[in-house]
Amino acid sequence: MQSPSRVAHIAIIACFSLLFITKGVNTIVSKNGLSNYSFPDKFMFGVATAAFQIEGAWNEDGKGESMWDTYLHKHPNFTVDHTNGDLAADSYHKYKQDIIMIKSLGVKYYRMSMSWPRILPNGTDHYINKAGVRHYRKVLLELIEAKITPVVTLYHWDLPTALMDLGGWTNPKMVDYFEDYARVVFSLFGDIVKIWTSINELHVHCYNGYDLNNFVPAMKSHGVGFYLCSHYMLLGHARVYHLYDKEFRPKQKGKIGVTLDAFYAEPKDSNNKEDVDAAERYLQMHLGLYAHPIYSKEGDYPALVRERIDTMSKIQGYPRSRLPVFTPEEVEMIRGTSDFFGLNHYTTILASPSSMEPGWSVPSLDHDTGVKSDQDPKWPIPGADWLAVYPPGLRKLVNWITRNYGTRVPIIVTENGVSDFGGLNDYVRVSYYNKYLYQLLLAMHEDGCRVDGYFAWTLMDDFEWSDGYSIKFGLFHVDFNSTEKKRTPKLSALNYREIMRTRRINFNYIKIPSYKYKNL
């Protein structure tokens, strides 16, 4: 038996080392609340938006209709609050104010998207809308004047209706149309814009639009249209990369990449091999499907994905795989077509295997994946039901990407943020940004991941697709009831500005009342 004093001694040592260990993996803060690690000077900090979600002015100055305009006018109840993007935050008219806001945050980069039908009202390049071109030129010049570098997304889901009428992204011809549109945009704005992203979140556009049907075009083509859409988007992205690389880069000297999205997947029970496999399968089917063709050494769809969908298609009696096949030339054409890994990340799921769940269609991506996804009851869900807060998920995802695709290209977090139901005292958002950014610092400083930038989603409250205006993601509040769409900074805007100023996270900068938010 050990003497009581010896037991106490051991307990004290254990306690200290525990303190030390937890300090190592959790937040290390100095007395003044500052994070131990900092963001390098050349780290790109920014805020992100998307044209359809903020611009409004849906039919002004010769703009054509996008599929979101047309569909929401036809189906006004499609969004939860029966709203649409006709007016949104009216950024088409208020862009100068937006740029003052961006500047006030102290960020040096602004990720925005261009509306394809504002530039090409009919989708095709036989007619260019001069007023639309003039508008984006004004916005870009205003940004430059404010010393903010624009990062422009060519396509953030607002497809011209004329092209949707031809089948949208399931039509192989879309690859040509996208290239034509990109050529117009590069020639008109490439003197100013030096960082491009081709497409925002191929997965979400195809999954929500073809499998789940809660996003336009709501095509009800689950398990078939989903893969066609993904396939032609990959080809479209690659064509646009090469177009830039060959015809524009030599003169314009910019960079071009793509933005992919992923939830992180954690095994429901990390001691259970089946759950571990399920988590990996989830990541491969959701992110690997797009990332492998572009970023892996060998290119093409991941073997696991290829085999799984081929097998399922066969069992289901399809004459050929529902996942289209790239020719060897196409594999080569897509491989290596991104100067950075644009990553949108919001949340994490717990994965376990399942062959069928309520709500799944057959066939579908979910059914093909065979993974039941749960949320940990300990994770707060402050707004949208899909967005549970689990900060270490970002660090783990960035590590997963680094393990799978190496460090040839840097990761740029092109979106990250959290939703709530409104209010200026958005402690939830302050806490979210502090903790997610700290996990990013750990990935960079302790795990050796190559991360070059971070964009907060989003500058201000906006039109959140099928959630309408019911949930809020903004650093700035927008009063959608006022005609002037008045903007007001939230606490999170002040906190973000402080991070920009110090290049560190100051966990004490905004005190979060502990009684208010459990688990934050």
Task: Supply the residues annotated as catalytic.
Answer: 415
Element (H, E) at 343: strand 341-344
The C-alpha atoms of residue 346 and residue 391 are separated, in whole angstroms, by: 9
Which residue stretch of 16-24, 69-77, 206-214, 433-441 sits at the interface with ligand GBH (rule: CB under 6 A)?
A: 206-214
Helix (H, G, I), strand (E, B) or coil at 506: strand
If one asks whether residue 436 binds ligand GBH (CB under 6 A), the answer comes out as no
Residue 464 is a binding residue for ligand GBH (CB under 6 A)? yes
Distance CA 335, CA 348 (A): 28
Residue with tokens 């925005």: 112
Please say which residue, 35 or 338, places its beta carbon nearer to ligand GBH.
338
455 binds ligand GBH (CB under 6 A): no
Backbone phi, then psi, for 47, in 5-degree steps?
-125, 155
Q: Which is nearer to ligand GBH, 48 or 102 (CB)?
A: 48
CB distance 412 to 451 below 8 Å:
yes
Task: Spell out the SS3 assignment of 407-470.
Answer: CCCCEEEEECCCCECCCCCCHHHHHHHHHHHHHHHHHHHCCCCCEEEEEEECCECCCCHHHCCC
Smallest separation, CB 504 to ligand GBH (Å): 26
Q: Does 261 bind ligand GBH (CB under 6 A)?
A: yes
Which of 129, 344, 364, 369: binder of ligand GBH (CB under 6 A)? 344
From candidates 35, 83, 208, 221, binder to ligand GBH by CB under 6 A: 208
Specify the residue, 379 or 386, whose C-beta has the smaller distance to ligand GBH: 386
Residue closer to ligand GBH by CB (options 208, 313) is 208
Residue-by-residue DSSP string for 279-336 = HHHHHIIIIIHHHHHHHSSS-SS-HHHHHHHHHHHHHTT-SS-SS----HHHHHHHTT
The stretch among 67-75, 199-207, 323-331, 492-500 that binds ligand GBH (CB under 6 A) is 199-207
Virtual torsion, Cα 166, 196, 451, 263, nearest 10 deg: -20
- Report which residue's Cβ sits closest to ligand GBH: 386
Query: Which of 415, 426, 461, 498 is the binder for ligand GBH (CB under 6 A)?
Result: 415
CB of 11: closest distance to ligand GBH in angstroms?
Answer: 46
What is the nearest approach in angstroms of ligand GBH to the Cβ of residue 386?
4
CB of 478 to ligand GBH, least distance (A): 14
E strand residue ranges, 176-222: 195-200
DSSP single-letter state for residue 168: G
Structure-token pair, residue 242: 């090469």
Task: State which of positions 37-96 bind ligand GBH (CB under 6 A).
Answer: 50, 53
Q: Count H helices, E strands: the chain? A: 19, 13
Q: How far is the CB of 414 from ligand GBH (least distance, A)?
A: 9
Question: From the list 214, 296, 404, 488, which residue makes contact with ligand GBH (rule: CB under 6 A)?
Answer: 214
Q: Does position 201 bind ligand GBH by CB under 6 A?
A: yes
Question: For tokens 């990541």, what's the residue?
Answer: 283
Closer of 48 and 182 to ligand GBH (Cβ) = 48
Amino acid at 314: K
Binding range to ligand GBH, per CB under 6 A, among 142-150, 198-206, 317-325, 508-516: 198-206
Determine if 381 is a binding residue for ligand GBH (CB under 6 A). no
Closest approach, Cβ 435 to ligand GBH, in A, equals: 18
Q: Please report how close the Cβ of residue 153 comes to ligand GBH at its closest, in angstroms.
A: 9
* Nearest alpha carbon to residue 251 among 197, 199, 186: 186
Beta carbon of residue 430, minimum distance to ligand GBH (angstroms, whole number): 18
Task: Choose the stretch contacting ligand GBH; rule: CB under 6 A; options: 197-205, 231-239, 283-291, 401-409.
Answer: 197-205
If one asks whether residue 461 binds ligand GBH (CB under 6 A), the answer comes out as no
Strand, helix or coil at 488? strand
| Site track 345-374 with ligand GBH (rule: CB under 6 A), x = hit | -x----------------------------
Structure tokens at 32: 């003044």
141 vs 153: CA distance, rounded Å: 17
Indicate which single residue of 204, 304, 494, 510 sits in contact with ligand GBH (rule: CB under 6 A).
Answer: 204
170 binds ligand GBH (CB under 6 A): no
Q: Is residue 420 involved in binding ligand GBH (CB under 6 A)?
A: no
- Provide the CB-side half-sphere exposure for 367 (13 A, CA): 20
Cβ-defined contacts of 444-449 (< 8 Å, 24+)? 444/37, 445/37, 447/395, 447/398, 447/399, 447/402, 448/402, 449/398, 449/399, 449/401, 449/402, 449/407, 449/411
Residues in contact with ligand GBH by the rule CB under 6 A: 50, 53, 200-201, 204, 208, 212, 214, 261, 344, 346, 386, 415, 457, 464, 473
